[in-house]
């Protein structure tokens, strides 16, 4: 292929032949999967043209041209096979040509061509009948056979063209909905620049980057890891990960995500998560899983569609019995409910998943959408959800007096930088603000629902809740009850630390109510959620004050982490359909126990893995967005179902009474099906957010 035109982020190449495999569907579709940084690929075989847009990186351009050069034009086997859509299009064009020729060719030639075009479909329909019983393919086969038996090759060819056109449009629409989701996946770069201990840069495969490596990212490059900026400033576009279209400035101390693209500037990033652990990889895994799940509403639609085939056969039999008209019989066979009913639900769901992801919410397939639409109770774990995701460190109290505040804070920040939680973020940011030195430590062990443990200079350091340290580690804090009560009375969150089994210190942190929390709760009520519940480890007075301010219905205060799932289950035993919103490691059991688990974006990995919905933006409004999107999706599916049933029923009436010929029946039926699918593909969309109060 030769380059015929090029812009900074766009390149157009021309092949020697329109039959070049690199111009055809599978190569085009798989190209972004092979080359990280590819934004879109479009091919025009008739013009021998391949147009690729990418992130502007020279490495991406080089990888693209190299991959194209290494792919033979006469092909890898998988590229040689025409796609389903191409096959249907080709068959449509051939059938149309035969129909057109029916007006000028001799009768014997017309019939021979019609048999050649229609024959494979009739054989396929007979085979489907014996393998699967009554199905759409068998009905189409019967209608085409009737046209041939009546000596009407033009009718058979026209009907065949319309059937294939309908199949082509259906396949195109269904694949478009899948491609919408797959295009959300930001492919990681193939290589990255890593800085060694001497400051020298070495280019290595991105999948060989280790935790704590320093990665250098320049303009146009995609960030290959989740990490923390060590130095430099840059403008980063995270649209492929969070759906946020406005680039953000990043500098030392900020976190960056794999898949973000530097629009300008330069960053040195310490790798915190690499490979399959990065946000981009987890999003890809989430979307792939979403494409595999089949919701109940889709299964129900398929069952109803199969049942309607029996209705079609019965109606056809009665029509022929009372009229003896083969033309009416063929018309009835060409009308069915199956296509619109079976394809409408999955297309609408894939479209909803796409719009949700673009709006900042990953929903785990159709079951997640169905579950969201049924929710009547939402339980909020307070910290990081209704309250703001960021905390402020207000108090650092070394207990034994031998360590200064700075030493204690530096120690805790060095351990907590490996966690992904608002408490950890606050401590790390406070240490950075004070420019404290990193404390070397051994590997950190995370204890689910409790805290973390590591060793520093041979001393065992334990950090977590008071319950964890006193009940599990037998570290006594009774002597420091006065400090703890004073901080708790001020509504602060407390983090406890111990070294070698002795108390080392207490850190107090303060959170803030999110500015959009009240508006979000109001939107949820408008969407049909009747009960809003606050679940928190805070003391009752503070919890009830927040609940009163936001208008929550019930409060569970003084909750221990292990009690969260039990509270969710108790609400379910009351007959409620419960959604749980949380972000911590200790929220995972409750997220699993709930009918729908919703994880905030800054939540722990385990919480995100356990959730049915993962918000990509740190905004509680995403909960209401997801509920409204689910409601709109289910309404659209049901509306399409009713539309397909009503219009096809009217068409049945036309077929039975003789007003709809086989060609008219095929045209009208396919129009109804395509209209339903296009409607499903276009919508639904999230509702527009109101301004936060």
Looking up tokens 């301004």, which residue turns up?
691
Would you give the DSSP letter of residue 211?
T
Cα–Cα distance measured from residue 34 to residue 71, given in angstroms and rounded to the nearest whole number: 12
Shared domain for 667 and 573, answered yes or no, is yes
Shared domain for 634 and 523, answered yes or no, is yes
The residues carrying an active-site annotation are 381
Question: Cα 509 to the chain's mean position, in Å?
Answer: 34
Q: Choose the final residue of a domain: 495, 510, 525.
A: 510
Q: Choose the final residue of a domain: 157, 183, 209.
A: 183
Q: Which residues contact 307 (CB under 8 A, 6 or more apart)?
A: none
Cα–Cα distance measured from residue 158 to residue 144, given in angstroms and rounded to the nearest whole number: 10
Shared domain for 501 and 411, answered yes or no, is yes
Has residue 575 been placed in a domain?
A: yes
E strand intervals along 16-77: 38-44, 49-54
Shared domain for 442 and 381, answered yes or no, is no
Shared domain for 693 and 594, answered yes or no, is yes
Shared domain for 563 and 668, answered yes or no, is yes
Helix, strand, coil percentages, rounded to 5, for the chain: 50, 20, 30
Cα–Cα distance measured from residue 270 to residue 229, given in angstroms and rounded to the nearest whole number: 6
Shared domain for 650 and 577, answered yes or no, is yes
Has residue 586 been placed in a domain?
A: yes
Half-sphere exposure of 361 (CA within 13 A, CB side): 30
Shared domain for 230 and 310, answered yes or no, is no
Has residue 416 been placed in a domain?
A: yes
Q: Choose the final residue of a domain: 159, 183, 207.
A: 183
Q: Domain residues for 402?
A: 392-510
Half-sphere exposure of 688 (CA within 13 A, CB side): 2
> Are the CB atoms for 136 and 666 separated by under 8 Å?
no
Has residue 283 been placed in a domain?
A: no
Alpha-carbon distance values, 671 to 298, 495, 667 (Å): 21, 63, 6
Q: In the chain, what is the straight-line distance between the N-terminal and C-terminal CA atoms, in Å?
A: 57
> Are the CB atoms for 594 and 579 separated by under 8 Å?
yes
**pTM of the shown model:** 0.60
Q: Which residues contact 156 (CB under 8 A, 6 or more apart)?
A: 114, 117, 118, 144, 147, 148
pLDDT in tens, 641-650: 888 888 878 8
pLDDT beneath 50, residues of the chain = 75-82, 692-693
Has residue 44 been placed in a domain?
A: yes
Has residue 348 been placed in a domain?
A: yes
Shared domain for 664 and 537, answered yes or no, is yes
Has residue 284 been placed in a domain?
A: no
Q: What is the CATH classification number for the domain harbouring 475?
A: 3.40.1110.10
Q: How many domains does the chain have?
A: 5
Has residue 173 been placed in a domain?
A: yes
Cα–Cα distance measured from residue 147 to residue 364, given in angstroms and rounded to the nearest whole number: 47
Looking up tokens 């972000």, which residue turns up?
583
Question: Cα 357 to the chain's mean position, in Å?
Answer: 5
């Amino acid at each position: 292929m030769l380059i015929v035109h090029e812009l900074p982020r766009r390149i157009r190449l021309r092949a020697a032949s329109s039959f070049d495999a690199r111009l055809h569907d599978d190569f085009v579709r798989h190209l972004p999967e092979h080359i990280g940084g590819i934004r879109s690929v479009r091919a025009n075989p008739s013009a021998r043209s391949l147009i690729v847009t990418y992130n502007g990186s020279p490495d991406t351009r080089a990888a693209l041209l190299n991959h194209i050069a290494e792919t033979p034009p006469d092909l890898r086997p998988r590229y040689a096979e025409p796609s389903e859509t191409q096959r249907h299009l080709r068959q449509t064009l051939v059938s149309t040509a035969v129909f057109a020729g029916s007006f000028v060719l001799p009768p014997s030639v017309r019939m021979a061509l019609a048999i050649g075009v229609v024959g494979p479909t009739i054989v396929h329909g007979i085979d489907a009948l014996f393998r699967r019983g009554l199905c759409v393919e068998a009905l189409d086969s019967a209608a085409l056979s009737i046209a041939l038996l009546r000596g009407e090759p033009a009718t058979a060819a026209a009907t065949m063209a319309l059937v294939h056109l309908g199949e082509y449009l259906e396949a195109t629409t269904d694949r478009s909905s899948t491609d919408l989701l797959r295009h959300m996946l930001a492919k990681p770069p193939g290589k990255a620049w890593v800085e060694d201990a001497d400051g020298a840069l070495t280019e290595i495969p991105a999948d060989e980057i280790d935790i704590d490596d320093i990665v250098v990212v320049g303009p146009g490059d995609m960030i290959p890891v989740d990490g923390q900026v060590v130095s430099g400033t840059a403008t980063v576009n995270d649209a492929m990960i969070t759906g946020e279209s406005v680039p953000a400035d990043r500098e030392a101390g900020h976190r960056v995500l794999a898949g973000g693209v530097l629009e300008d500037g330069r960053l040195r990033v310490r790798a915190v998560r690499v490979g399959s652990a990065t946000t981009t990889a987890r999003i890809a895994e989430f979307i792939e899983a979403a494409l595999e799940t089949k919701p109940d509403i889709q299964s129900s639609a398929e069952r109803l569609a199969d049942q309607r085939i029996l209705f079609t056969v019965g109606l056809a039999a009665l029509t022929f019995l009372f009229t003896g008209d083969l033309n009416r019989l063929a018309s009835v066979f060409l009308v069915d409910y199956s296509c619109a009913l079976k394809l409408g639900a999955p297309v609408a769901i894939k479209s909803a998943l796409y719009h949700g992801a673009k709006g900042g919410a990953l929903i785990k397939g159709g079951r997640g959408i169905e579950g969201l639409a049924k929710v009547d109770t939402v339980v909020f774990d307070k910290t990081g959800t209704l309250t703001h995701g960021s905390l402020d460190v207000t108090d650092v109290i070394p207990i034994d007096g031998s360590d200064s505040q700075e030493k204690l804070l530096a120690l805790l920040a060095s351990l907590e930088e490996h966690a992904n939680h608002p408490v950890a973020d606050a401590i790390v940011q406070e240490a950075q603000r004070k420019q404290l030195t990193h404390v070397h430590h051994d590997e950190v062990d995370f204890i689910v629902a409790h805290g973390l443990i590591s060793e520093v200079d041979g001393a065992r350091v334990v950090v977590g809740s008071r319950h964890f340290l006193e009940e599990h580690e037998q570290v006594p804090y009774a002597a420091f009850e006065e400090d703890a009560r004073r901080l708790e009375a001020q509504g602060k969150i407390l983090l406890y630390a111990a070294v070698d089994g002795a108390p080392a210190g207490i850190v107090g942190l303060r959170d803030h109510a999110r500015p959009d929390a009240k508006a979000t709760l109001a939107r949820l009520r408008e969407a049909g959620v009747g009960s809003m519940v606050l679940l928190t480890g805070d003391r009752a007075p503070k919890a009830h004050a927040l609940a009163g301010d936001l208008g929550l219905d019930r409060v569970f205060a003084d909750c221990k982490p292990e009690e969260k799932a039990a509270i969710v289950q108790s609400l379910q035993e009351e007959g409620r359909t419960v959604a749980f919103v949380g972000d911590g490691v200790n929220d995972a059991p409750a997220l699993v126990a709930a009918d729908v688990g919703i994880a905030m974006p800054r939540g722990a990995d385990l919480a995100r893995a356990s959730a049915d919905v993962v918000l990509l933006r740190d905004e509680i409004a995403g909960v209401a967005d997801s509920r409204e999107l689910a409601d709109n999706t289910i309404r659209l599916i049901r509306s399409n179902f009713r539309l397909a049933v009503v219009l096809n029923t009217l068409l049945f009436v036309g077929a039975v009474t003789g007003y709809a010929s086989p060609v008219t029946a095929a045209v009208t039926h396919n129009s109804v099906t395509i209209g339903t699918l296009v409607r499903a593909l276009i919508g639904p969309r999230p509702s527009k957010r109101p301004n936060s109060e």
